[in-house]
Amino acid sequence: MSKFYVTTPIYYVNDKPHIGTAYTTVVADVLARWHRLKGEEVFFLTGTDEHGIKIYKAAMAKGKTPKEFVDAVVPEFVSAWKSLDISYDKFIRTSDKDHEERVKKFIMKLWDNGDIYKGVYTGLYCVPDETFVSESEAKDGKCPSCGRPLETVSEEAYFFRLSKYKDRVIELIKKGLVIPQEKANELLSRLQGDLKDLDVTRKSVKWGVEFPPDPSHTVYVWFDALLNYITALGWPEQDKFNKFWPADVHIVGKDIVWFHAVIWPAMLMAAGMEPPKAVLSHGWWTIDGRKMSKSLGNVVDPVELAKKYSADPVRYFMVREKTVWDDGNFSEKALKERINGELMADLSNLVARVVTLAEKTGNLRSGEAELEGFIDFGRFSSLMDNYNISSALEEILIGIRKVNKYFNDKKPWASTPESLSNTLYNALEALRMISILISPFMPSVSDEIDKQLGVGHGAIKDIGFKEFVGNPKRGKNIFDKLSE
């Protein structure tokens, strides 16, 4: 059986979930569900990144110990993902004891083979981003990525021989590690410059994993965090690790691709392990045309959205409104338009009309498959496998519209009993397949359609016109029209 290992970044817990973190998680969930539907063995990992100076400072600001602080925030992530119907297989926390022990083992492996050495670090550090910034990257003493002021730090530190792996990393990126290609090009041009060894410990930061060769240091938060992708599989234990590693895809926002496509593969190479198969870089959401930020007060809360619209329309909107790798704009107006225009007008009405008539008519088990090929399934599949999720959804919509048109053109309410029965057979089978295909995006809607058709949950192997073995019974509307 083939496997699929998909991950989200692990999120900083100095903030509660927002539309950005929710987006990464929804994309990962859609892919995880899609691969389960194909009958693959899936491991879907998410979790929280809990160490480092940023979290430490956030805890202090609240008058809590770091541990108390993170323990209080993590449940917000767990419940947010529940409200968005996220089907992760594991939720890892970097403060988990077994994670910490495994990080130490990894460090010792690199230490023993000489890829970590002692030196002195002097330089600029961006506290909110937890990143070191070189003089040339800094813009007027500010962080080039977030624009906030940098701090100068100088301390004894341990370094990872990142430079040693430069050529192999370049090779890997050239072979297609990073999606999309523009992002890969950006990394490749950055890699033409100097690639310095990476400071992987901090003496001044106490809230972190102890650095085993020198316990007066803690492990740099990114080094600790990236390792979650293997510690979650139990590494260095082999069972799960052998089964699922390498990851099929790490889904990450465009701001953290460098860590995943340069530093992380180099770490793995140093340990003699395979790099991930793909790093998918996704674009960012702006809110009503502006950057989302606490200071602008325009942070969108995904939990509130799910409460207001229910999870499925929110999930649908996120993966439909923009392609994964581009930036896009979020607005409730656009969300309502998608719901009214696509889900309500095309899908909800179709279910209502077909099921109502089928319930009255009966005897719809077989017939001539007139809607064969109503969805280009091969195309849908390949779009999904290439992360072109929005276009894959377009294929389903085209199919739904075809069924609508077919149903109207056939005028089933005015036709002979045989023709009526055949039309219904086609429409019911089409709906059964539509329900299968939308289930990765809208699992509850799919459940509701199955219920009204009176069929069990389908999978990809059930695609194709067969005998209709259901028992249609009209239930609630799949969607109701939302006021503008």
Residues that bind ligand MSP (CB under 6 A): 9-12, 20-21, 23-24, 49, 225-226, 228, 252-253, 255-256, 284-285, 292
- The Cα–Cα gap between 102 and 6 comes to 20
> How many other β-carbons are positioned within 10 Å of the β-carbon of residue 268?
21
Q: Which is nearer to ligand MSP, 33 or 260 (CB)?
A: 260
Which tokens is 77 given? 């992530």
Per DSSP, what are the bridge partners of residue 285? 328
Q: How far is the CB of 89 from ligand MSP (least distance, A)?
A: 17
- Distance separating alpha carbons of residues 146 and 143, to the nearest angstrom: 6
Of residues 63, 64, 77, 69, the one with CA closest to residue 51:
69
- Shortest Cβ 403–ligand MSP spacing (Å): 34
- Closest contact distance (angstroms) between CB of 253 and ligand MSP is 2
Phi, psi of 198, deg, nearest 5: -105, 130
Least distance to ligand MSP from the beta carbon of 231, Å? 11
b (16+ CB within 10 A) / e for 20-53: bbbbbbbbbbbbbbbbbbbeeebbbbbbbbbbbb
State the Cα–Cα distance between residues 248 and 262, nearest whole angstrom. Answer: 17
Angle between helices 302-309 and 311-321 (to 10 degrees): 120
State the CB neighbour count (10 A cutoff) for residue 275: 21
CB-nearer residue toward ligand MSP: 49 or 115:
49
- Which residue is closest to ligand MSP by CB? 253
Count, residues in the chain: 484
Residue 24 or 201: the one with the smaller Cβ distance to ligand MSP is 24
| Minimum distance, C-beta of residue 296 to ligand MSP, in the bound complex (Å) | 12
In whole angstroms, what separates CA 286 from the centre of its chain? 18
Q: Based on CB atoms, which residue is closest to ligand MSP, 21 or 422? A: 21
* Residue among 7, 13, 19, 8 at smallest CA distance from 74: 13
Q: Which residues of 87-111 are buried (b: 16+ CB within 10 A; e: fewer)?
A: ebeebbbbbbeebbebbbebbebbb
| CB-based burial, 215-229: b 16+ in 10 Å, e otherwise | eebbbbbbbbbbbbb
Give min distance, CB of 482 to ligand MSP, in A.
24
Residue 80 beta carbon to ligand MSP: minimum distance, rounded to whole angstroms: 12
CB of 188 to ligand MSP, least distance (A): 20
* Minimum CB distance to ligand MSP smaller for 11 or for 220: 11
Query: Given the complex with ligand MSP, which of 24 and 446 has the nearer CB atom?
Result: 24
State which residue, 212 or 283, has the beta carbon closest to ligand MSP. 283
Cβ proximity to ligand MSP, 22 vs 393, nearer residue: 22
CB of 116 to ligand MSP, least distance (A): 19
- Give the nearer residue to ligand MSP in terms of CB position, either 226 or 267: 226
Classify the C-alpha dihedral 31-36-41-47 as positive or negative.
positive
Which is nearer to ligand MSP, 23 or 441 (by Cβ)? 23
Q: Which is nearer to ligand MSP, 21 or 452 (CB)?
A: 21
Enter the DSSP assignment of 149: B
* Closest distance of CB 326 from ligand MSP, Å: 11
Of 316 and 479, the one with the shorter C-beta distance to ligand MSP is 316
**What's the closest the beta carbon of residue 12 comes to ligand MSP, in angstroms?**
4
Question: How far apart are the C-alpha atoms of 220 and 23, rounded to whole Å?
Answer: 27
Min dist. Cβ of residue 219 to ligand MSP (A): 13
CA distances from 115 to 106, 219, 314 (A): 11, 15, 46
H/E element, 354: helix 349-361
The string of DSSP letters for 8-51 reads: EEEEETTS---HHHHHHHHHHHHHHHHHHHTT-EEEEEEEEE--
CB 4 within 8 A of CB 32: yes
